[in-house]
Chain A
Amino acid sequence: MRVLGIESSCDETGVAVYDTEKGLLAHRLFSQIAMHAEYGGVVPELASRDHIRKTLPLIEEVLADTALTTKDIDAIAYTAGPGLAGALLVGAAIGRSLAWALDIPALAINHMEGHLLSPLLEEPAPEFPFVSLLVSGGHTLLVDVKGVGQYELLGESIDDAVGEAFDKTAKLLGMDYPGGPYLAAKAEQGIADRFVFPRPMTNRPGLDFSFSGLKTFAMNTWLDTEQTDQDKADIALAFQTAVVETLAIKCKRALKRTGHKRLVVAGGVSANKALRNKLDAMKGVEVFYPRQAFCSDNGAMIAFAGAMRHQAMKHQDVPSFTVRPRWPLNELSPP
């Protein structure tokens, strides 16, 4: 069975085809640099929400990559939330109408479920159950994953998402926005332990996070220095170390609480090297990551989640659609 997946919840447009026997057949992401020439003009970050112009060409490209036609597709999965209503509606409208025209089922997929399941696209894939740490610009979640659709939220950020804290701290230190990856690169030149940042919310029980205070701490520290390049690197390192250790402490707690031995890390921040080193060093735990390309938003994870759900469910297809800009994971049920 082949499922076409469409992701359009935020700034990225992603399309992919997943085959339940052969695995991922093709995936494409709208990238402002690579497709610059093809689509013409510089695309401002948020105008890239204009998914309408990108989704159909991407579907055509993915089909061309796989030498398939729409007749070879058995179901269409689209991101129905959470995300920006206008952006979601594009993928939902195109996905649903195409499915209707082809007389095949359409599946409304939760974006976070896509991220949670994305490490299952890799070899070896983690077996259920596992704890998932989802860390991106928009989300910071710890989830107990018992199976497809069986998710229990263990903890989340009460203010800034971890990727957002990286981006904003980078900005405070004079880097371009969004500068999370630059901050991480700068940290490599830092001198350890010159500054020590707090580990927010680790001295009390619970699995929630708070990262808003760290950026203020970084700002105050920065203002107290002579603002040299070395100061910048040292603050970047102190900030990153605080974030990474906080995440690791909470992961350990979540594993202890659930009794699971597998940890899955997904989302844009899962690409961070310091975080991977720290988590990989944990004893008695197997840690899984999606490949670099699938750490951020993509169509492959939606096609995959759609395939998992379609395979498992007795599908009753209703020819209508809606999107849910807020859609908590614990409201999902197994297929």
Chain B
Amino acid sequence: MHKYLDNEQATLDLGKELALVTPAQLFTIHLEGELGAGKTTFTRGFVQALGHRGNVKSPTYTLVEHYQLNNRDIYHFDLYRLSDPGELEFMGIDDYFHSNAISLIEWAQRGQDFLPPPDLMIHLAYQSKGREVDIQALTALGEEVCGKLHK
């Protein structure tokens, strides 16, 4: 599914819309796109839609930011600084992917096999104005969620 996002607000709105149709079970979203394409902005819309009131900081330096909202764990990963996927084992990566955890993972390709397969792959790309977004469902659950989004 392709969409054109006019501005920052449109990126936030898409994050919000997706959050509201994401089920309360293990769900993994990979976020792709260059630096500044809007991956963290998208995540901000997502976690704020689920009730988060504070800031949504970039997890580039911390690798992961954790939000606990309505008994759901939302993890925002940024693997940009990872130089070897094996380093994920140092941080006990398996503990994060439990039954009702939603993970939004930036730069997931740097984590390779240490991450669960994504339900959705979201690609954000710079346009001369705004952003183009491409959402791809990679599992049956992902299809179901994608089907609930406005075209």
Give CA–CA (A197, B56) in the complex, Å. Answer: 23
Task: Contact check, A49 vs B87: say whether CB atoms are below 8 A apart.
Answer: yes
CB contacts (< 8 Å) of B81 on chain A: these are 45-46
Residue of B nearest to A215 (CB): B36
Hey, which chain B residues are within 8 Å of A44, CB to CB? 83-84, 87
- B55 lies within 8 A of A156 (CB): yes
CA distance A10 to B61 in the complex (A): 9
Contact (A160, B90) CB under 8 Å given A44-B84, A216-B36, A219-B126:
no
**How distant is B78 from chain A, measured CB to nearest CB, in Å?**
10
Inter-chain contacts of A19 with B (CB < 8 A): none
Which chain B residues lie closer than 8 Å to A325 at the CB level? Answer: 62
B63 at the interface (CB under 8 A from A): yes
Q: Taking the complex as formed, is B20 at the interface, i.e. its CB lies under 8 A from any CB of chain A?
A: no
A84 CB contact (under 8 Å) in B55, B57, B62, B84: B62
Chain B contact surface mostly: loop
B87: nearest residue on chain A (CB-CB)? A46
A164 touches B60 (CB 8 A): yes
A179 to chain B, nearest CB (A): 12
Interface centre among B44, B61, B81, B87 (most CB of A within 10 A): B61
CB within 8 Å of B: which of A67-126? 83-86
What 1/0 flags go to B43-65 for Cβ under 8 Å of A? 01000000000011110111100
Instruction: Count chain B residues whose beta carbon lies closer than 8 angstroms to a beta carbon of A.
Output: 26
Contact of A47 among B41, B57, B60, B83 (CB under 8 A): B83
Classify chain A's interface size.
20 to 34
| Distance A171 CA – B36 CA, assembled complex (angstroms) | 11
> What A residues does B63 contact at CB under 8 A?
84
B87 contacts which chain A residues (CB < 8 A)?
44, 46-47, 49
Q: Are B58 and A159 in contact (CB under 8 A)?
A: yes
Are the C-beta atoms of A46 and B60 separated by less than 8 Å?
A: no
Q: Is B138 interfacial (CB 8 A cutoff)?
A: no
Residues of B contacting A47 with CB < 8 Å?
Answer: 83-84, 86-87, 90
Partner of B58, one of A83, A212, A219, A326: A212
Q: Are B57 and A172 in contact (CB under 8 A)?
A: no
A212 touches B40 (CB 8 A): yes
- Alpha-carbon gap, A10 to B81, bound state (A): 12
B41 proximity list for chain A (CB < 8 A): 212
User: B residues within 8 A CB of A10?
Assistant: 61
Residues in B59-101 with C-beta less than 8 Å from chain A: 60-63, 66, 80-84, 86-87, 90-92
With a CB–CB cut-off of 8 A, which chain A residues contact B36?
Answer: 168, 172, 212, 215-216, 219
Choose one: A86, A158, A172, A223; the contact of B92 (CB below 8 Å): A86
Q: How far is the CA of A219 from the CA of B84 in the complex (A)?
A: 27
Question: Are the CB atoms of B62 and A215 closer together than 8 Å?
Answer: no
The answer to whether B84 touches A46 (Cβ under 8 A) is yes
A157 CB–B CB distance under 8 Å: yes
A50 at interface by CB-CB < 8 Å: yes
Asked if A159 meets B61 with Cβ closer than 8 Å, knowing A46-B82, A46-B87, A85-B91, the reply is no
Q: Which of B102-124 contact A (CB under 8 A)?
A: none
CA distance A223 to B35 in the complex (A): 14
In the assembled complex, the Cα of A215 lies from the Cα of B126 at a distance in Å of 13
10 residue pairs of the A-B complex, CB under 8 angstroms, read A45-B81, A45-B83, A46-B83, A46-B90, A50-B90, A159-B58, A160-B60, A164-B61, A168-B36, A219-B34
Instruction: Name the 8 nearest CB pairs between A and B, nearest first.
Output: A138-B61, A216-B36, A44-B83, A158-B55, A46-B87, A160-B58, A215-B36, A168-B35
